[in-house]
């Protein structure tokens, strides 16, 4: 689903990753983090897709909320395991969303 | 591949989309746009993944370069056809990348 985000400005974290061939425990971690991130203060939504490269974008009300989520202990553990095991490489980009345009097709069946 | 981008600040366009069931001509357009975007002034790189939701992030040196790419005639045509045919919904977010962290695993075979 495309995340329903508020009128800008707000913040985005773009996490782009290439997995290693050591995938044991990855899916469980990814699911646990997806559940956990939704409970964080300041979380606005997230979107995720993978085919070869994985791109996960999470949206936040402030840089402070992003910093707090980065420091949540289970998330810190996932980051450490990510570097030691699951990821070949990744890049995290912290962004300020300045403008947003949306399109939604009318439901022509109604 | 993860895009090799310069030291921030720079800009990102996050394009998140859900396709309709009318896919004729989509792959050709997507490939043509991927080739064309790389030729644009101010283009820094892009990343793309789709499974269910599609997420394409392109990186740019300035808002001015993003504006010019939006107005390239072949790209305008693709946008119109996208709304009339290929996409059920999409969201475009224009962002300023403020910070970037990279990780790359050492090649242990060497």
E strands within B23-86?
A: 43-51, 53-60
Say if CB B27 and CB B50 are below 8 A apart.
no
Residue A74 buriedness (CB in 10 A; 0-12 / 13-18 / 19+): exposed
Size of interface A-B (CB pairs under 8 A): 138
Listed range (A33-37, A70-74, A103-107, B37-41) with the worst mean pLDDT: A103-107
Q: Nearest-CA residue of chain A relative to B50?
A: A49
Give the other-Cβ count within 10 Å of B81's Cβ.
14
Q: Residue A1's closest chain B neighbor by CA?
A: B53
The answer to whether the Cβ–Cβ distance between B57 and A55 falls below 8 Å is yes
What is the CATH topology of the domain spanning B10-97? Alpha-Beta Plaits (3.30.70)
The average confidence (pLDDT) of chain B is 95
A14 CB neighbours in chain B (<8 A) are 12, 14, 57, 97
Whether the per-residue pLDDT at A64 is higher than 80: the answer is yes
User: Which CATH topology does A21-97 take?
Assistant: Alpha-Beta Plaits (3.30.70)
pLDDT at A12 over 90: yes
- pLDDT at residue number A110: 52
In a mutational test of the A interface, the residue from B8, B14, B45, B60 whose CB has the highest number of chain A CBs within 10 Å is: B14
* pLDDT beyond 90 at A106: no
Q: List pLDDT tens digits, range B53-87.
A: 999 999 999 999 999 999 999 999 999 999 999 99
pLDDT given at position A108: 64
Domain ranges of chain B: 10-97
Q: Residue A16 and residue B57: Cβ atoms within 8 Å?
A: yes
**Longest CA–CA separation in chain B, Å:** 52
Which ipTM score applies to this complex? 0.95
Q: In whole angstroms, how far apart are CA B68 and each of A96, B1, B59, B65, B72?
A: 21, 25, 14, 5, 6
Q: What's the CA gap between B48 and A55, in Å, rounded?
A: 8
pLDDT tens profile A79-88: 999 999 999 9
For B49, the closest of A54, A103, A104 (CB atoms) is: A54
Q: Chain A partners of B2 at a C-beta cutoff of 8 Å?
A: 16-18, 53, 89-91
- Does A75 have pLDDT greater than 60? yes
Predicted confidence band of residue B109 (pLDDT cuts 50, 70, 90): low
């Amino acid at each position: 689903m495309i995340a329903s985000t508020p009128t800008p400005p707000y913040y985005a974290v773009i996490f782009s990753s290439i997995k290693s061939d050591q995938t044991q425990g990855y899916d469980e971690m990814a699911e646990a983090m997806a559940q956990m991130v939704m409970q964080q203060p300041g979380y606005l939504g997230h979107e995720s897709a993978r085919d070869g490269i994985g791109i996960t974008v999470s949206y936040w009300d402030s840089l402070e909320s992003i910093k707090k989520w980065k420091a949540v202990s289970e998330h810190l553990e996932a980051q450490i395991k990510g570097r030691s095991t699951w990821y070949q490489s990744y890049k995290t980009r912290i962004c300020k969303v300045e403008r947003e345009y949306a399109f939604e097709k009318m439901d022509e069946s109604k």
